[in-house]
Amino acid sequence: MNKLSLGITLLCTFLAWSCTEARPADLQPPTPVKVQAVETFSLNNGLRYSATIRPTTQMDLAFKNGGFVDAIYEVAGRLVDQGDTVAAGTVLARLRQADFENRVDQADAQLSDARFALESAKARADDNQARLARAEQDFSRAEKLFNAQSMTRSGYDAAKADHESALAKVQSAKADIDSAQYRVRAAEAAVADARLAVRDTALVAPMSGTIIKRNVEIGSLVATGKSAFTFADTRTVKAVFGVPDLEIRSVRPGMLLEVTSEAVPERTFTGRVTSISPAADEKTRIFETELTIANPKDVLKAGMIASVVIANPAAREKSAAVPLSSIVRSKDNSEAYAVYVVEGSGSQTFARLRSVQLGDAFGNMIVVKNGLSAGESVITVGATLVHDGRAIQIVP
């Protein structure tokens, strides 16, 4: 082989090696992704806050006296439980009455004894009063005879002693009457309490409302004052939320605000501001605020999460909004966020990483305060699979 042929062979080998070793990463197959144009979101709807739905009135219902639960109200063949609505006056549960009826019998017996003792004391008082009248007459006559020296000293002293004894017995009888009357009043009060305890064996719903929690079972022993049911009036509910100190000036008692909940889609409720905390929380600087919302059909349930919008006339600008799925972590700052923006067209389409500043989230969308413009396209599906500058293929 001559030198020319050898040179050509070496040149071809070098070119082949160069083409193989220097294949750029950009020549890898493009990554399939889905994209979406950046939308604009008007902030003139105001500031949005997360709220919790609570009953306007909520209370614990408890038995006045302890005892064994004998019966519980039934709804559709089962024991009443949380979520059930009951009417005012419904007997939710009842204690075993026999235990309390025995107390009534005992109190009645004590009352009968006290009344008998009172009648006996009155009878003795009448006898003693009659004896006193005779003793007074005898003593008056003895006193006259003694003064006329027609009676001995011993006879006079005997008449006087008999009079004093009769007077003491009358006074004692009056004390017995007072004591017997006190016993009668105490026994009558005991009877009234015992009969009231029988009536209190029934735990009655004080108003129409919803059972939030049931804490008793048939046969269980409940203590005096222990909560048997947590009961709430949900015909009106409260939306409770916190307003920062910088924004509380825009909230006024009596103002009407719109309330929505993802649990009740396509419904907008109107609430009136009925309470604003006079002081902010020391740690969060948040003022607790309450809206009262009419809820006649019991659509809003206690514990639901809702959104409250407070109008902000000063905010009229429009901001970009993108799907949450398009957001990725920034490569330069783990605490910052970015999106992949589509550049190029046709077969020459690439992903470019761009840092953004995020705002509030609404559903599956989030506001981008800066870094994007309306009309730009961002990767929404496949954003975690591409890199800055990587070729992409847009799929429907």
Backbone angles phi, psi at 140, to 5 degrees: -65, -40
Most confident of 152-161, 280-289, 313-322: 280-289
Q: What is the mean pLDDT of the chain?
A: 84
How far apart are alpha carbons 106 and 121 in whole angstroms?
23
Q: Check residue 72 and give its pLDDT.
A: 95
CATH no. of 25-43+317-394: 2.40.420.20
> What pLDDT score does 45 carry?
55
Do strands 392-394 and 31-37 pair parallel, antiparallel, or not at all (unpaired)?
parallel
Q: Angle at CA 13, nearest 5°, toward 12 and 15?
A: 65
Q: Which residue type occupies 203?
A: L
Q: Which residues contact 385 (CB under 8 A, 6 or more apart)?
A: 31, 33
Give ∠ CA 271-275-279 in degrees, rounded to 5: 140
Architecture of domain 64-96+204-228: Beta Barrel (2.40)
CATH superfamily of domain region 47-52+236-310: Efflux pump adaptor protein, beta barrel domain (2.40.30.170)
Q: Hey, what amino acid is at 30?
A: P
What are the residue ranges spanned by the domains of the chain? Answer: 25-43+317-394, 47-52+236-310, 64-96+204-228, 99-199
What is the gyration radius of the CA atoms in the chain, in angstroms?
46
Average pLDDT rounded to a whole number, residues 193-207: 88
The pTM assigned to this predicted structure is 0.50
**Contact call for residues 44 and 316 (beta carbons, < 8 A):** yes
pLDDT at 317: 60
The stretch 200-223 carries a mean pLDDT of: 92
Q: What is the pLDDT of residues 40-64, one digit of tens each?
A: 766 555 678 899 999 988 899 999 9
DSSP for 196-209, written as a single string: HHHHTTEEE-SSSE
Nearest to 205 by CA among 236, 232, 237: 232
Top-confidence residue, 239 or 140: 239
The class of domain 99-199 in CATH terms is: mainly alpha
pLDDT at 364 over 80: no
- What percent of the chain clears pLDDT 90, i.e. is strictly above it? 34
**Cα-flanking dihedrals φ and ψ of residue 309, to 5°?**
-110, 125
